[in-house]
């Protein structure tokens, strides 16, 4: 009996996901966006594996060859070379590692930190809520980049600082969002029912409320991923993030800036890589929101 219900549940999840995938693959823009995101993820994964298993060495992207410097795109170097004669295409592909690493780590920090605080504040309510809301308001008055800059100033430049800075700077959004969602959600009958059968507060929060508010949080996480990439690139561009010779798209542009007049390609392509990835993530985020927002779904089916 029990396994039957379980199977039925699985089937339902599969069905909703199918519908979801079908809706996603509906239009060309979304398909392109999806493949760019998946492509970047695979590039990051494959290059990491290749480096880790020592199939390729760091010299592939960091090896200096001055005879080759600042070459325009050609058959041998499809995107040209940079000021140290390194192939730009190779560096852009290896640069995906940093972009994906920053998304995975900083967004996780932001989600976990923000959602935990927001959940507790919204659920407990009262004075706790009041105080937390004030703190979140105050933190959200900081333009995110300034808060990130301040944190990087304190921690010193480097990839870890950037990840922590973005994670902390983006956490208040999740706190505010989840707090609002919980405050509404906890009034529902199912919460009362769970309480009535003696479920603990933690259980109610994690098992009952969290799944019901996961949708909007997921959408926000998608948008936060794209801003995380933009901020990492900006901070690395300013020389406060990833340090050479590790290729990060932002750092590549910083290095290419001095040669902008003679070798514009070295600055055009890394920027395009960032733009395409961020655009794709944002496109998917918009789509996701439309699908998850019942108000919007109702609107669409009406027209």
Partner 1 sequence: MFRYFLYRLFLYVPTLLIMLFVVFILVKALPGDPITVMYGEFDPPPEVRKALEERLGLDRPLLVQYMLYVMRILQGDWGKSVGTGEEVLRLVLRRFQATLELAVASVAIATFIGLSLALISAWRPNSLADKIIRIASVASYSIPVFWWGLMLILIFAVYLQLLPPGERGGLKHLILPAVTLGVVSFGMIARVSRASMLEVMTQDYVVAARARGLNEVKVLLSYVMRNAIVPIVTIIGLRFGVLMSGAVITETVFKYPGIGSMIYDSILARDYPVVFGGILFVAIVVMTVNLLVDILYYFVDPRVKLEKTRV
Instruction: Note the residues at the interface with partner 1 (CB under 8 A).
Output: 29, 134-135, 137-146, 149-154, 156, 226, 230, 233-234, 237-240, 250, 253, 257, 260-261, 264, 267-268, 270-271, 274-275, 278-279, 282-283, 286, 303
Measured CA to CA, the distance from residue 260 to residue 258 in angstroms comes to 6
Q: How far is the CB of 14 from partner 1 (least distance, A)?
A: 30
Cβ 280 to partner 1 shortest distance, Å: 8
Question: What's the DSSP call for residue 73?
Answer: P
Nearer CB in complex with partner 1: 169/194: 169
Between residues 301 and 303, which has the closer beta carbon with respect to partner 1?
Answer: 303
Say if CB 117 and CB 127 are below 8 A apart.
no
In the complex, least distance from residue 85 CB atom to partner 1, rounded to whole angstroms: 22
Q: How far is the CB of 295 from partner 1 (least distance, A)?
A: 11
178 within 8 A of 213, measured Cβ to Cβ: yes
Q: How far is the CB of 15 from partner 1 (least distance, A)?
A: 27
- Which CB atom, from 194 or from 270, has the smaller least distance to partner 1? 270
Residue 159's closest CA among 116, 245, 98?
A: 98
Cβ proximity to partner 1: between 93 and 229 the closer is 229
DSSP-based three-state secondary structure for 63: coil
Give the shortest CB-36-to-partner 1 separation in angstroms: 11
Name all contacts of 188-191 with Cβ < 8 Å and 24+ positions apart.
188/212
Nearer to partner 1, 17 or 243 (CB): 243
**Nearer to partner 1 among residue 9 and residue 244 (C-beta):** 244
What's the CA gap between 154 and 130, in Å, rounded? 29
Closest approach, Cβ 302 to partner 1, in A, equals 10
Choice between 194 and 240, CB closer to partner 1: 240
How is 216-239 classified by DSSP, letter by letter? HHHHHHHHHHHHHHHHHHHHHHTT
Strand partners, 87: 81
Instruction: Encode 163-196: b = buried (16+ Cβ within 10 Å), e = exposed.
Output: bbbbbbbbbbbbbbbbbbbbeebbeeeebeebee
CB of 29 to partner 1, least distance (A): 6
Burial 271-285 (b: 16+ CB within 10 A, else e): bebbebbbebbbbbb
C-beta of 88 vs 152, nearer to partner 1: 152
**How far, CA to CA in Å, does 89 sit from each of 45, 77, 94, 270, 289?**
17, 7, 9, 9, 33
């Amino acid at each position: 009996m029990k396994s039957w219900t379980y199977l039925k549940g699985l089937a339902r999840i599969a069905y909703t996901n199918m519908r979801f995938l079908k809706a996603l693959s509906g239009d060309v823009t979304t398909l392109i966006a999806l493949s760019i995101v998946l492509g970047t993820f695979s590039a990051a994964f494959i290059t990491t594996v290749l480096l880790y298993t020592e199939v390729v060495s760091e010299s592939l992207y960091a090896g200096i060859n001055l005879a080759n410097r600042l070459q325009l795109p050609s058959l041998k170097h499809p995107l040209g070379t940079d000021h140290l004669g390194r192939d730009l295409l190779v560096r852009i592909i290896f640069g995906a590692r940093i972009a994906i690493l920053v998304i995975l780590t900083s967004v996780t920090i932001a989600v976990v930190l923000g959602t935990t605080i927001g959940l507790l504040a919204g659920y407990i309510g009262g004075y706790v809520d009041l105080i937390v809301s004030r703190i979140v308001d105050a933190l959200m008055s900081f333009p995110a980049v300034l808060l990130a800059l301040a944190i990087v100033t304190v921690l010193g430049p480097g990839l870890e600082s950037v990840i922590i800075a973005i994670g902390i700077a983006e956490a208040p959004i999740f706190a505010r969002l989840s707090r609002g969602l919980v405050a509404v959600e906890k009034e529902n009958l199912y919460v009362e029912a769970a309480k009535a059968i003696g479920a603990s507060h933690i259980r109610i929060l994690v098992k009952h409320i969290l799944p019901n508010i996961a949708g909007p949080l997921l959408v926000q996480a998608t948008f936060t991923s794209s801003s995380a990439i933009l901020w990492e690139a900006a901070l690395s561009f300013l020389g406060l993030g990833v340090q050479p010779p590790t290729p990060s798209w932002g750092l590549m542009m910083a290095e290419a800036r001095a040669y902008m007049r003679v070798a514009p390609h070295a600055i055009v392509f890394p920027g395009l890589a960032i733009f395409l990835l961020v655009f794709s993530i944002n496109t998917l985020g918009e789509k996701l929101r439309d699908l998850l927002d019942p108000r919007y779904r109702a609107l669409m089916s009406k027209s």
